[in-house]
Chains A and B, each alone.
Chain A
Amino acid sequence: MTLLPLMKAVELFHGLTDAQLQRLLDISQEAVYQDGDVIFEQGAAGDALYFISEGQVEICIRSTPNSPERTEVFLGRGQIFGEMALVDRGTRSATVRCCQDDTVLRAIQGDAFTALCETDTAIGYVIMRNIACDLSFKLRHRNLNLDASSQGADAPEEGGL
């Protein structure tokens, strides 16, 4: 079964031709996770970007090593994560944990991605533009979420004055 239709529904790949999508597919690897599986840990070295073919993951952060872990967002089908390490080569900024059985991910390793971009710079331009769009959307989601949380905190309890 071809994965090209699936990739076309991922914003990260928006604007790429079928041939370019196939080249990306050729350097990606599929992995299946179950509820509770950790894909990677905050602070770990990492050099791969993932996109979710099916299922859902949660992005969790500890602000200090001893603080409790909090979930920042759930990401479902068509979303990407791990892109920050691909962009800045830093350690993982969050722990990512699978939260649905049979979640299907595809990983693109940084070295393979860089090599592909060096042979086809158009791919690199489109992907980096789309990563920027995705980060922007995540920020918008976070802002809306903060606003909703503050509304909840300000709202009187049912039956209250």
Chain B
Amino acid sequence: MITYKVSYVVVGGEHPGAIANELERPRVGGRVRIGRALYEIVEIHEALPPREDFAFLHATVRPVQTAEHPAE
């Protein structure tokens, strides 16, 4: 089973982003919670070559504003 280590970067702001392991490959349009807010993935590419059971991805995300998840 592949573990996806993902660097999430929020484009266009001062947000520090996040690093997390995902058990399924993230997809464009998918949503991820960073801190207390929700973000939508807009782009994904390989950050590093895979190492055995680990894949290393870089995802750019943008805020999703909902009543439950206001933008940070």
Interface bracket on B: 20 to 34
Contact indicator B17/A8 (Cβ below 8 Å):
no
Complex CA gap A145/B33 in Å reads: 17
Complex CA gap A78/B55 in Å reads: 13
Given A8-B53, A14-B54, A137-B56, A152 contacting B11 (CB threshold 8 A): yes
Contact indicator B18/A137 (Cβ below 8 Å):
no
Contact indicator A76/B11 (Cβ below 8 Å):
no
Complex CA gap A79/B22 in Å reads: 11
Complex CA gap A77/B34 in Å reads: 12
What's the dominant secondary structure at chain A's contact region? mixed
Residue from B33, B47, B51 within 8 A of A56 (CB atoms): B33
Q: Does A75 contact B (CB under 8 A)?
A: yes
Taking CB atoms, residues of chain B closer than 8 Å to A79 are: 19-21
Residue from A56, A72, A151 within 8 A of B11 (CB atoms): A151
Contact indicator A56/B56 (Cβ below 8 Å):
no
Taking CB atoms, residues of chain A closer than 8 Å to B12 are: 148, 151-152, 155
Chain B residues packing against A (C-beta within 8 Å) = 1, 3, 5, 7, 9-14, 16-23, 33-36, 47-48, 51-54, 56, 58, 60
A sample of 11 inter-chain contacts (CB < 8 A) reads: A10-B21, A11-B3, A73-B17, A74-B17, A74-B18, A74-B34, A75-B18, A137-B5, A137-B56, A145-B9, A148-B12
